[in-house]
Amino acid sequence: MILSRADNSSFANWWWTIDRMTLAGMLGLMAIGLVLAVAASPAATGDSGSAGNFSYALKQLAFAATAIGILIGTSMLDSKTTRILAACVFALGLIGSWLALVAGIDINGAHRWLDFGGLRLEPSEFLKPAFAVLAAAFLADKLKHGFPGDLVTIGLLAPALVVLLLQPDVGQTLLLGTLCVVMLFLAGLAYYWLAALGVGGAALATLAYFLHPHVRERITQFVESGPGYQTGLALQAFEAGGIAGVGPGAGAIKYRLPDAHTDFIFAVAGEEFGIALCILIALLFGFVTIRLLLRAAKARDCFAQLAASGLAVVVGLQAFINMGVSLSILPAKGMTLPLISYGGSSLFAVALTLGLALGLTRQRPALPEEIAR
Protein backbone atom coordinates (compact mmCIF):
# COMPACT_ATOMS: atom_id res chain seq x y z
CA MET A 1 0.00 0.00 0.00
CA ILE A 2 1.38 3.40 -1.03
CA LEU A 3 0.15 6.54 0.70
CA SER A 4 0.48 10.00 -0.80
CA ARG A 5 1.09 13.07 1.33
CA ALA A 6 -1.76 14.67 -0.61
CA ASP A 7 -4.13 12.05 0.82
CA ASN A 8 -6.36 13.73 3.42
CA SER A 9 -7.86 10.57 4.87
CA SER A 10 -7.69 9.94 8.62
CA PHE A 11 -5.37 6.96 8.16
CA ALA A 12 -3.00 8.89 5.88
CA ASN A 13 -2.93 11.79 8.32
CA TRP A 14 -2.12 9.36 11.14
CA TRP A 15 0.58 7.61 9.11
CA TRP A 16 2.45 10.77 8.18
CA THR A 17 2.34 12.29 11.69
CA ILE A 18 3.11 9.19 13.76
CA ASP A 19 6.65 8.26 14.77
CA ARG A 20 6.96 5.20 12.55
CA MET A 21 10.39 4.21 13.87
CA THR A 22 9.10 4.04 17.44
CA LEU A 23 6.05 2.12 16.25
CA ALA A 24 8.36 -0.35 14.51
CA GLY A 25 10.32 -0.81 17.76
CA MET A 26 7.12 -1.54 19.66
CA LEU A 27 5.94 -4.06 17.08
CA GLY A 28 9.40 -5.63 17.12
CA LEU A 29 9.16 -6.18 20.88
CA MET A 30 5.70 -7.65 20.47
CA ALA A 31 6.99 -10.02 17.78
CA ILE A 32 9.80 -11.16 20.09
CA GLY A 33 7.15 -11.72 22.76
CA LEU A 34 5.23 -14.04 20.45
CA VAL A 35 8.37 -16.04 19.67
CA LEU A 36 9.13 -16.36 23.38
CA ALA A 37 5.52 -17.34 24.10
CA VAL A 38 6.03 -20.29 21.77
CA ALA A 39 9.27 -21.13 23.60
CA ALA A 40 7.77 -20.83 27.10
CA SER A 41 4.33 -22.34 26.50
CA PRO A 42 5.44 -26.01 26.77
CA ALA A 43 7.12 -25.22 30.10
CA ALA A 44 4.07 -23.35 31.41
CA THR A 45 1.69 -26.18 30.47
CA GLY A 46 4.00 -29.13 31.20
CA ASP A 47 6.82 -30.05 33.55
CA SER A 48 10.39 -31.38 33.53
CA GLY A 49 9.12 -34.90 32.79
CA SER A 50 6.76 -34.12 29.93
CA ALA A 51 6.42 -31.18 27.57
CA GLY A 52 3.13 -29.32 27.52
CA ASN A 53 1.36 -27.73 24.59
CA PHE A 54 1.26 -24.39 22.82
CA SER A 55 -2.08 -23.20 24.19
CA TYR A 56 -0.48 -20.20 25.91
CA ALA A 57 1.20 -19.19 22.66
CA LEU A 58 -2.13 -19.31 20.81
CA LYS A 59 -3.79 -17.20 23.50
CA GLN A 60 -0.91 -14.73 23.37
CA LEU A 61 -1.37 -14.43 19.61
CA ALA A 62 -5.01 -13.46 20.16
CA PHE A 63 -3.97 -11.02 22.90
CA ALA A 64 -1.35 -9.49 20.59
CA ALA A 65 -3.89 -8.94 17.79
CA THR A 66 -6.15 -7.11 20.25
CA ALA A 67 -3.22 -5.15 21.64
CA ILE A 68 -2.21 -3.94 18.17
CA GLY A 69 -5.75 -2.65 17.72
CA ILE A 70 -5.52 -0.82 21.05
CA LEU A 71 -2.07 0.56 20.17
CA ILE A 72 -3.13 1.95 16.80
CA GLY A 73 -6.58 3.09 17.92
CA THR A 74 -5.33 5.10 20.90
CA SER A 75 -2.49 6.61 18.86
CA MET A 76 -5.14 8.25 16.64
CA LEU A 77 -6.78 10.14 19.53
CA ASP A 78 -6.50 13.89 19.98
CA SER A 79 -5.51 15.57 23.23
CA LYS A 80 -9.05 16.16 24.52
CA THR A 81 -10.19 12.60 23.84
CA THR A 82 -7.04 11.28 25.48
CA ARG A 83 -7.91 13.07 28.71
CA ILE A 84 -11.48 11.77 28.69
CA LEU A 85 -10.31 8.22 28.00
CA ALA A 86 -7.74 8.42 30.81
CA ALA A 87 -10.40 9.59 33.30
CA CYS A 88 -12.69 6.70 32.35
CA VAL A 89 -9.88 4.13 32.46
CA PHE A 90 -8.64 5.35 35.85
CA ALA A 91 -12.13 5.22 37.35
CA LEU A 92 -12.76 1.72 35.96
CA GLY A 93 -9.28 0.56 37.00
CA LEU A 94 -9.80 1.81 40.55
CA ILE A 95 -13.26 0.25 40.83
CA GLY A 96 -11.99 -2.99 39.31
CA SER A 97 -9.05 -3.10 41.72
CA TRP A 98 -11.39 -2.74 44.71
CA LEU A 99 -13.66 -5.44 43.29
CA ALA A 100 -10.65 -7.73 42.82
CA LEU A 101 -9.74 -7.11 46.45
CA VAL A 102 -13.14 -8.19 47.80
CA ALA A 103 -14.35 -10.65 45.15
CA GLY A 104 -11.39 -11.45 42.92
CA ILE A 105 -9.37 -14.60 42.40
CA ASP A 106 -6.95 -15.56 45.16
CA ILE A 107 -3.57 -16.48 43.64
CA ASN A 108 -0.77 -17.09 46.15
CA GLY A 109 -2.54 -14.94 48.72
CA ALA A 110 -2.99 -11.93 46.39
CA HIS A 111 -6.36 -10.61 45.17
CA ARG A 112 -5.51 -8.75 41.96
CA TRP A 113 -7.49 -10.46 39.22
CA LEU A 114 -11.09 -10.56 38.01
CA ASP A 115 -12.33 -13.58 36.08
CA PHE A 116 -14.50 -12.85 33.02
CA GLY A 117 -15.47 -16.31 31.84
CA GLY A 118 -11.92 -17.63 31.67
CA LEU A 119 -10.28 -14.31 30.79
CA ARG A 120 -8.42 -12.96 33.81
CA LEU A 121 -7.87 -9.24 33.95
CA GLU A 122 -5.74 -7.31 36.42
CA PRO A 123 -7.44 -3.88 36.67
CA SER A 124 -4.49 -2.29 38.48
CA GLU A 125 -2.39 -2.60 35.31
CA PHE A 126 -4.49 0.15 33.72
CA LEU A 127 -4.01 2.62 36.56
CA LYS A 128 -0.48 3.54 35.43
CA PRO A 129 -1.20 4.98 31.94
CA ALA A 130 -4.42 6.62 33.11
CA PHE A 131 -2.68 8.22 36.09
CA ALA A 132 0.17 9.53 33.92
CA VAL A 133 -2.28 11.32 31.59
CA LEU A 134 -4.48 12.71 34.38
CA ALA A 135 -1.48 13.89 36.40
CA ALA A 136 -0.12 15.61 33.29
CA ALA A 137 -3.48 17.35 32.76
CA PHE A 138 -3.59 18.63 36.35
CA LEU A 139 0.06 19.70 36.38
CA ALA A 140 -0.23 21.42 33.00
CA ASP A 141 -3.23 23.40 34.30
CA LYS A 142 -1.12 24.40 37.28
CA LEU A 143 1.64 25.71 35.04
CA LYS A 144 -0.84 27.65 32.90
CA HIS A 145 -3.51 28.82 35.32
CA GLY A 146 -2.16 28.34 38.84
CA PHE A 147 -4.43 25.34 39.46
CA PRO A 148 -3.25 23.27 42.51
CA GLY A 149 -2.32 20.39 40.22
CA ASP A 150 0.35 18.91 42.48
CA LEU A 151 -2.05 18.50 45.40
CA VAL A 152 -4.78 17.07 43.16
CA THR A 153 -2.24 14.65 41.66
CA ILE A 154 -1.22 13.37 45.09
CA GLY A 155 -4.88 13.13 46.09
CA LEU A 156 -5.57 11.09 42.95
CA LEU A 157 -2.69 8.77 43.78
CA ALA A 158 -3.72 8.03 47.38
CA PRO A 159 -6.69 5.66 46.79
CA ALA A 160 -4.74 3.76 44.14
CA LEU A 161 -1.83 3.17 46.54
CA VAL A 162 -4.18 2.04 49.29
CA VAL A 163 -5.90 -0.62 47.19
CA LEU A 164 -2.59 -1.83 45.74
CA LEU A 165 -1.10 -2.30 49.21
CA LEU A 166 -4.20 -4.14 50.36
CA GLN A 167 -4.23 -6.60 47.44
CA PRO A 168 -1.15 -6.73 48.07
CA ASP A 169 0.89 -5.60 45.07
CA VAL A 170 4.00 -3.88 46.38
CA GLY A 171 5.75 -3.80 42.99
CA GLN A 172 2.92 -1.88 41.31
CA THR A 173 2.68 0.38 44.36
CA LEU A 174 6.34 1.36 44.09
CA LEU A 175 6.07 1.79 40.32
CA LEU A 176 3.00 4.04 40.54
CA GLY A 177 4.54 6.04 43.37
CA THR A 178 7.75 6.51 41.39
CA LEU A 179 5.73 7.62 38.37
CA CYS A 180 4.03 10.28 40.52
CA VAL A 181 7.38 11.61 41.74
CA VAL A 182 8.70 11.70 38.16
CA MET A 183 5.63 13.63 36.97
CA LEU A 184 5.95 16.16 39.79
CA PHE A 185 9.67 16.55 39.10
CA LEU A 186 9.04 17.17 35.40
CA ALA A 187 6.44 19.78 36.33
CA GLY A 188 9.01 21.67 38.39
CA LEU A 189 7.97 20.82 41.95
CA ALA A 190 10.32 22.23 44.57
CA TYR A 191 13.09 19.92 45.70
CA TYR A 192 12.03 19.95 49.34
CA TRP A 193 8.61 18.63 48.34
CA LEU A 194 10.25 15.91 46.29
CA ALA A 195 12.37 15.04 49.31
CA ALA A 196 9.23 14.87 51.45
CA LEU A 197 7.61 12.54 48.92
CA GLY A 198 10.75 10.42 48.95
CA VAL A 199 10.53 10.12 52.74
CA GLY A 200 6.85 9.17 52.41
CA GLY A 201 7.72 6.53 49.83
CA ALA A 202 10.42 5.13 52.11
CA ALA A 203 7.87 4.99 54.93
CA LEU A 204 5.43 3.06 52.72
CA ALA A 205 8.20 0.65 51.70
CA THR A 206 9.09 0.11 55.35
CA LEU A 207 5.43 -0.48 56.19
CA ALA A 208 5.17 -3.04 53.40
CA TYR A 209 8.32 -4.73 54.69
CA PHE A 210 6.80 -5.28 58.12
CA LEU A 211 3.20 -5.97 57.06
CA HIS A 212 3.79 -8.42 54.22
CA PRO A 213 5.96 -11.47 55.06
CA HIS A 214 6.67 -12.28 51.39
CA VAL A 215 8.16 -8.80 50.89
CA ARG A 216 10.32 -9.21 53.98
CA GLU A 217 11.48 -12.65 52.87
CA ARG A 218 12.42 -11.48 49.37
CA ILE A 219 14.37 -8.46 50.57
CA THR A 220 16.10 -10.38 53.37
CA GLN A 221 17.05 -13.17 51.01
CA PHE A 222 18.34 -10.72 48.37
CA VAL A 223 20.48 -8.81 50.91
CA GLU A 224 21.76 -11.70 53.01
CA SER A 225 21.62 -14.85 50.90
CA GLY A 226 21.91 -13.71 47.27
CA PRO A 227 19.75 -15.17 44.51
CA GLY A 228 16.68 -17.11 45.63
CA TYR A 229 15.25 -20.21 43.99
CA GLN A 230 13.65 -18.45 41.02
CA THR A 231 16.42 -15.96 40.34
CA GLY A 232 18.99 -18.70 40.86
CA LEU A 233 17.35 -20.75 38.11
CA ALA A 234 17.16 -17.65 35.92
CA LEU A 235 20.90 -17.12 36.29
CA GLN A 236 21.48 -20.77 35.38
CA ALA A 237 19.37 -20.23 32.27
CA PHE A 238 21.51 -17.26 31.20
CA GLU A 239 24.67 -19.26 31.86
CA ALA A 240 23.40 -22.23 29.84
CA GLY A 241 22.38 -20.03 26.94
CA GLY A 242 25.69 -18.23 26.59
CA ILE A 243 25.96 -15.90 23.62
CA ALA A 244 23.81 -17.63 21.01
CA GLY A 245 21.55 -19.82 23.19
CA VAL A 246 20.88 -23.55 23.19
CA GLY A 247 18.40 -23.20 20.33
CA PRO A 248 14.62 -22.71 20.00
CA GLY A 249 12.75 -25.31 22.05
CA ALA A 250 15.93 -26.88 23.43
CA GLY A 251 15.87 -25.16 26.81
CA ALA A 252 15.65 -27.43 29.87
CA ILE A 253 15.86 -25.03 32.80
CA LYS A 254 12.65 -23.28 31.76
CA TYR A 255 10.69 -26.41 32.82
CA ARG A 256 11.85 -25.90 36.42
CA LEU A 257 11.49 -22.13 36.42
CA PRO A 258 8.23 -20.89 37.97
CA ASP A 259 6.48 -18.16 35.94
CA ALA A 260 8.76 -18.81 32.97
CA HIS A 261 6.10 -17.43 30.62
CA THR A 262 5.45 -14.25 32.64
CA ASP A 263 7.83 -12.77 35.22
CA PHE A 264 10.90 -14.71 34.03
CA ILE A 265 10.36 -14.69 30.27
CA PHE A 266 13.67 -12.80 29.97
CA ALA A 267 15.47 -15.88 31.33
CA VAL A 268 13.79 -18.05 28.69
CA ALA A 269 15.13 -15.64 26.06
CA GLY A 270 18.61 -15.97 27.56
CA GLU A 271 18.56 -19.77 27.66
CA GLU A 272 17.20 -20.49 24.19
CA PHE A 273 18.42 -17.48 22.20
CA GLY A 274 21.38 -16.32 24.25
CA ILE A 275 22.63 -13.00 25.49
CA ALA A 276 22.39 -11.68 21.92
CA LEU A 277 18.58 -11.60 22.06
CA CYS A 278 18.64 -10.22 25.60
CA ILE A 279 20.80 -7.31 24.45
CA LEU A 280 18.47 -6.71 21.50
CA ILE A 281 15.47 -6.60 23.85
CA ALA A 282 17.22 -4.13 26.16
CA LEU A 283 18.26 -1.95 23.21
CA LEU A 284 14.72 -1.91 21.82
CA PHE A 285 13.29 -0.83 25.17
CA GLY A 286 15.96 1.85 25.44
CA PHE A 287 15.27 3.02 21.89
CA VAL A 288 11.49 3.24 22.39
CA THR A 289 11.78 5.00 25.77
CA ILE A 290 14.42 7.54 24.76
CA ARG A 291 12.82 8.31 21.41
CA LEU A 292 9.44 8.93 23.06
CA LEU A 293 11.11 11.24 25.57
CA LEU A 294 12.81 13.17 22.78
CA ARG A 295 9.54 13.47 20.86
CA ALA A 296 7.78 14.57 24.04
CA ALA A 297 10.33 17.37 24.49
CA LYS A 298 9.34 18.70 21.06
CA ALA A 299 5.60 18.77 21.81
CA ARG A 300 3.98 22.19 21.61
CA ASP A 301 2.01 22.13 24.88
CA CYS A 302 2.83 21.26 28.49
CA PHE A 303 0.20 18.55 28.72
CA ALA A 304 1.60 16.53 25.83
CA GLN A 305 5.15 16.96 27.11
CA LEU A 306 4.31 15.77 30.62
CA ALA A 307 1.93 12.96 29.63
CA ALA A 308 4.13 11.46 26.93
CA SER A 309 7.19 11.64 29.21
CA GLY A 310 5.36 9.91 32.05
CA LEU A 311 4.03 7.18 29.77
CA ALA A 312 7.49 6.55 28.34
CA VAL A 313 9.13 6.46 31.77
CA VAL A 314 6.68 3.96 33.26
CA VAL A 315 7.23 1.43 30.44
CA GLY A 316 11.01 1.85 30.50
CA LEU A 317 11.12 1.56 34.30
CA GLN A 318 8.95 -1.58 34.34
CA ALA A 319 11.16 -3.21 31.72
CA PHE A 320 14.28 -2.32 33.71
CA ILE A 321 12.81 -3.79 36.91
CA ASN A 322 11.80 -7.05 35.22
CA MET A 323 15.18 -7.54 33.56
CA GLY A 324 16.97 -6.51 36.76
CA VAL A 325 15.09 -9.14 38.77
CA SER A 326 15.92 -11.85 36.22
CA LEU A 327 19.60 -10.88 36.40
CA SER A 328 19.48 -10.81 40.23
CA ILE A 329 20.46 -7.15 40.51
CA LEU A 330 17.06 -6.31 42.07
CA PRO A 331 14.86 -8.19 44.59
CA ALA A 332 12.05 -10.27 43.08
CA LYS A 333 8.94 -8.14 42.49
CA GLY A 334 6.58 -10.22 40.36
CA MET A 335 6.44 -7.73 37.48
CA THR A 336 5.94 -8.57 33.80
CA LEU A 337 8.19 -7.56 30.92
CA PRO A 338 6.16 -5.10 28.80
CA LEU A 339 4.96 -6.38 25.39
CA ILE A 340 6.81 -9.67 25.91
CA SER A 341 5.47 -11.50 28.98
CA TYR A 342 2.39 -13.65 28.59
CA GLY A 343 -0.92 -12.16 29.72
CA GLY A 344 -3.77 -10.11 28.34
CA SER A 345 -3.92 -7.51 31.12
CA SER A 346 -0.24 -6.61 30.84
CA LEU A 347 -0.24 -6.56 27.04
CA PHE A 348 -3.43 -4.50 26.78
CA ALA A 349 -2.28 -1.99 29.41
CA VAL A 350 1.15 -1.53 27.80
CA ALA A 351 -0.46 -1.17 24.36
CA LEU A 352 -2.71 1.53 25.83
CA THR A 353 0.31 3.23 27.42
CA LEU A 354 2.41 3.28 24.26
CA GLY A 355 -0.54 4.09 22.00
CA LEU A 356 -1.35 7.18 24.06
CA ALA A 357 2.34 8.17 24.02
CA LEU A 358 2.47 7.79 20.23
CA GLY A 359 -0.67 9.88 19.83
CA LEU A 360 0.59 12.66 22.07
CA THR A 361 3.93 12.84 20.24
CA ARG A 362 2.47 12.99 16.73
CA GLN A 363 4.05 15.90 14.86
CA ARG A 364 1.01 17.70 13.50
CA PRO A 365 1.39 20.86 11.38
CA ALA A 366 1.08 24.01 13.45
CA LEU A 367 -2.14 25.99 13.07
CA PRO A 368 -1.88 29.63 11.83
CA GLU A 369 -2.84 31.03 15.25
CA GLU A 370 -0.15 28.89 16.91
CA ILE A 371 2.45 30.18 14.47
CA ALA A 372 1.36 33.76 15.17
CA ARG A 373 1.91 33.25 18.89
pLDDT in tens for each of the 373 residues of the chain? 566 666 677 788 888 899 999 999 999 999 999 999 999 998 888 765 666 788 889 999 999 999 999 999 999 999 999 999 999 999 999 999 999 988 888 777 788 888 887 778 899 999 999 999 999 999 998 877 778 888 899 999 999 999 998 888 888 888 998 999 999 998 887 777 777 777 877 777 777 667 666 666 666 666 655 667 788 899 999 999 999 999 988 888 998 888 888 999 999 999 999 999 999 999 999 999 999 999 999 988 999 999 999 999 999 999 999 999 999 888 877 789 999 999 889 999 999 999 999 999 998 665 444 444 4
- Residue 57 and residue 120: Cα distance in Å, rounded? 16
Residues 243, 345 contacting (CB under 8 angstroms): no
- Residue 227 and residue 213: Cα distance in Å, rounded? 18
- Residue 279 and residue 127: Cα distance in Å, rounded? 29
Residues 208, 173 contacting (CB under 8 angstroms): yes
Q: Is 51 left (phi over 0), alpha (psi -120 to 50) or beta?
A: beta
Dihedral sign computed on CA atoms, order 138, 143, 148, 151? positive
